Structure 1
Amino acid sequence: MDFQHMQDRARTVRARYAEVEAATYGRSWTTEEIMLGFLGDVGDLAKLVQGKAGVRPREDLDGALAHELADCLWSVLTLADAYDVDLAGAFASTMDELQESLSMP
């Protein structure tokens, strides 16, 4: 799946969440609430990384880790979309900057 397809799918899922939130709570989540959800996902991811290190073992660790990484990616894609960030472009330029800073003189 290419990046644009990922962004489109994230946008479609976010739109559906907004519908469900509006029906359930009378409004959809704000970007701040999406960010708070992302923080919760990052916390869950941290626990799974500890599991991979043997500190917090659990069944189906690999599947749970893959799922949580995907959840986190969805949040990043959704926040980038909400703030009109060209994430693909920002990623490319950031990687260029990092590679340049790591170059040997």
Structure 2
Amino acid sequence: MELSEITKRAMRVHGLYDKLNLAKHGRTWSRHDFVLGFVGDVGDLAKLTQAADGIRPAPPGLGLGHELADCLWSVVVIAELYGIDLEAEFTMTMRQLEESITGEREQGATR
């Protein structure tokens, strides 16, 4: 699945959550609410990775793949809500990291 398809599907689910939250709570989530939700998802992800590594018991009802997908969903939605072209930013950031890592490796080789 291409990132553009992931984004469309994530925003469809975002729209469904808006309808649900409006019906249940009389309001939709703000951008800040999504960021706070993402922080919670990252906390769950940390617990699940600890469980996968045998450091703690697994939380009931959660799976590592599910939580990674939740985190991806949050990142995609947050990027859309803030008008960030995630694909372009990812491409640029990976290029910068590759150049930085290559430069450091080359410097280490000349020492």
TM range (shorter): over 0.9
Contact 2:47–2:59 under 8 Å retained in 1: no
Runs (5+) with no aligned partner, structure 2: 107-111
Aligned residues with identical type, % of pairs = 44
Residue in 2 that maps onto 1:85: 84
- Report the Cα distance in structure 1 between the residues aligned to 2:17 and 2:59, rounded to whole angstroms: 29
Larger Rg over CA atoms: 2
- Report the Cα distance in structure 2 between the residues aligned to 1:5 and 1:23, rounded to whole angstroms: 27
4+ residue runs over 6 A deviation: none
- Report the Cα distance in structure 2 between the residues aligned to 1:82 and 1:74, rounded to whole angstroms: 12
Change (3 A) 1:37 1:59: closer
Count how many residue pairs are aligned between Structure 1 and Structure 2. 104
Residue in 2 that maps onto 1:96: 95
TM-score by length of 1: 0.92
Q: Using the TM superposition, give the Cα deviation of residue 57 of structure 1 relative to its aligned residue in structure 2, in angstroms.
A: 3.4
Letter in 1 for 2:97: L
Q: CA RMSD in A?
A: 1.8
- Report the Cα distance in structure 1 between the residues aligned to 2:58 and 2:70, rounded to whole angstroms: 19
Paired residue secondary structure (1:11): helix
TM-score by length of 2: 0.87
- Report the Cα distance in structure 1 between the residues aligned to 2:15 and 2:38, rounded to whole angstroms: 17
Map residues 68-83 of structure 1 onto 2, 5 A cutoff. 68-83=67-82
